[in-house]
Amino acid sequence: MKKTIKKSTIYSLAAAALFLVFLYWLDANRLSQGMLISVLQKGAILALVATSMNLLNGFTGLFSLGQAGFMSIGAYTTAILIIPVRSLDGVYYMNGVHPAIMNLRLLMANSPPFLQSVYPFIALLLGGALAALIALLVGLAVLRLKSDYLAIATLGLSEIVRAIFSSPQFDQITNGSYGLNKIPNFPPMLFGLIPSLITPFIITGVSVAFIVLLINSSYGRAFKAIREDEIAAEAMGISLYKHKEMSFVISSFFSAVAGGMLAMYMRSIEAKTFSITLTYDILLIVVIGGIGSVTGSVVSAFLVTAAKEWWLRFFDQPLSLFGFQVPLFRTGFRMVIFSVLLMVVVLIYRRGLFGTNEFSWAGLIKRLRLKRPAKKEVE
């Protein structure tokens, strides 16, 4: 057993090192690999929010559809705190910026350079903390609901948050329906030793690792017990409300962190970015990867992003063969092909690509039939 664990650790460290080298190569070839970089960064962001949704839906058994709302909280909070002071007047050009925000930003701009370099990460944490606080308060009411009722309540919450951010009353804070732009890209880490391209992967990796540790802890076992049978879990002494609230708050926190990274990735945001469609896309990633599998959510996020943003773009371009114009090859046909492929995947893998299983090197080697044959006994 120890030998297997040691081998698995070595393989994982080697794979992480190779991936890190690959990211440094991408950073050195930004101009020629722009599409690949864009797909990988967006995939990393969606992997985090899909994992946080899986923590709630797959491991705790709570059907929530409020991820887009919590992402918007993290996105707006992060954007407001990191837009350069010199750009604020250009962003809030209609009604001006709120004096409290301007004073805070001036205070941040006059702080030591070291503090300024870590402000983007502090902004991500503050966005996550605000979303967690709202989830804590909302959870007092909605977590007493079950199944479809909880889904409808959280979906309504998401739409309420989006409506508030786009309302004229918040023009001086969120810039209303005009949205926020001139948002800085991902910052480098460790005084520039880690390029900005790698930053979202580091944040996602650390966040997913925390979620995995939580799932494998006693709290994670309590989450799974609640998912399987609430009555039996309560009979065993598990506080249903406490653990549901914990799962809801943690999931909301990491969804908001992913939302903050999405704001840095897109460089501009508006309320309609976080519509119901975004929640459905995240739920789609979770279902394809496997409800109850962290590995499935991560792999599915990259596959779905690559398919939608890169591989299937061929179908959006007009195609002519021997002078014959092939019908249907036009803008938008890519999503038709994508939908058909999703139906095929769901029909073949009814429980998702991974089901409730996680990736393991031993399982991969077995599937590839690279496992060494057992030694024959000497007669």
Confidence class for position 254, pLDDT limits 50, 70, 90 = very high
Closest residue by Cα to residue 211 from 104, 36, 372, 58? 58
CA distance 159 to 216: 33
Please tell me which residue, 190 or 69, carries the higher pLDDT value. 69
Rounded distance between C-alpha atoms, residue 355 and residue 133, angstroms: 32
Q: What is the number of structural domains in the chain?
A: 1
Q: What is the DSSP string of 133-151?
A: HHHHHHHHHHTTS-HHHHH
- Reported confidence tier of residue 370, pLDDT bands at 50, 70, 90: low
As a whole number, mean pLDDT of residues 113-128 equals: 92
The proportion of the chain whose per-residue pLDDT surpasses 90, expressed as a percent, equals 63
Residue 3 confidence (pLDDT) above 70: no
| Arithmetic mean of pLDDT, 246-255 | 96
In a domain, 162, yes or no: yes
Q: How confident is the model at residue 257 (pLDDT cuts 50, 70, 90)?
A: very high
- The closest of 104, 100, 102 to 91, measured between CA atoms, is 102
* Neighbouring C-beta atoms of residue 248, cutoff 10 Å: 26
Confidence bin at 369 (pLDDT 50/70/90): low
- Least confident window among 156-165, 170-179, 187-196: 187-196
Q: Return the pLDDT at 11.
A: 86
Q: What is the pLDDT of residue 247?
A: 95
CB-count exposure of residue 340 (10 Å: 0-12, 13-18, 19+): exposed
209 domain residue, yes or no: yes
Please determine, for residue 377, whether its predicted confidence score (pLDDT) is greater than 60.
no
> Residue 30 domain-assigned?
no
Phi-psi region of 185 (alpha: psi -120 to 50; beta: other; left: phi over 0): beta
- Residue 316: its pLDDT value, please? 75
Average pLDDT score over the chain: 88
**Amino acid identity, residue 364?**
L
In a domain, 303, yes or no: no
* Whether the predicted pLDDT of 22 surpasses 70: yes
Backbone angles phi, psi at 122, to 5 degrees: -65, -40
Residue 60 lies in a domain: yes
Q: How many CB atoms lie within 10 A of CB 371?
A: 10
- Domain limits at 257? 41-274
Residues 6+ apart with CB under 8 A from 14: none
Task: Check whether 374 has a pLDDT greater than 70.
Answer: no
In a domain, 53, yes or no: yes
**Least confident among 129-143, 179-193, 195-209:** 179-193
In the chain, the DSSP E strands lie at: 320-321, 324-325
Asked whether the beta carbons of 205 and 214 are under 8 A apart, the reply is no
**Which range has the worst mean pLDDT, 134-143, 232-241, 285-294, 355-364?**
355-364
Residue 233 CB neighbours (<10 A): 21
